[in-house]
Structure 1
């Protein structure tokens, strides 16, 4: 039930978001790997001789990988919360989350390749 409004709501939403990032970082190896990728590629994006729009795209796609991983992890946690028993719909949900991450990482490769080559 939503009971907060104004600054209080913003404060609590920020705190929940930070808690989610901490949880993802501590519990998800894939998220930690993507954080490392971001820590490597974002500085590289600033060193490259590209336009501001190209730089923004290079940075945006690596952030998108983090966002997709957070959503994928949320799907997996929700499915596991419902039941740890094998079910075809649970597998489909997890596989589709994984597929989303595959497409996101493919987008990183394509955008970086198009801009750099």
Structure 2
């Protein structure tokens, strides 16, 4: 049981390190806080909250995975390698696609509440 709880400790250390050291995670956290504030001001439905929470959680999780890929690649090589660059670019691309989709879903949820 001790090992089980220790895994949560290490996971939390990773999350906190990510937020402390990664500019993009700080940006996503700020966007999440803004979205939550707008959600409370907009009176979101339960289903809309579920979608927003999934998008925020997915975005932060994907950004943490991107950071992990970047660190692992940097650990393996200090010099330029095409496959290393591609791995980092692919992970960053996944984050960008999810961020764009999240923004589009956010607009679909919030525009009718604020402008229609």
TM, length-normalised to structure 2? 0.88
Paired residues for 1:21-100 under 5 Å = 21-100=15-94
Larger helix percent: 2
CA root-mean-square deviation: 1.3
Extract unaligned runs of 5+ from structure 1: 1-6
Extract unaligned runs of 5+ from structure 2: 112-116
Helix, strand or coil for the counterpart of 2:28? helix
1:116 aligns with 2:110: yes
Which of 12, 17, 41 aligns to 2:11? It is: 17
* Structure 1 residue runs of 4 or more that deviate by more than 3 Å after TM superposition: none
Counterpart-to-counterpart distance in 2, 1:10 and 1:46: 35
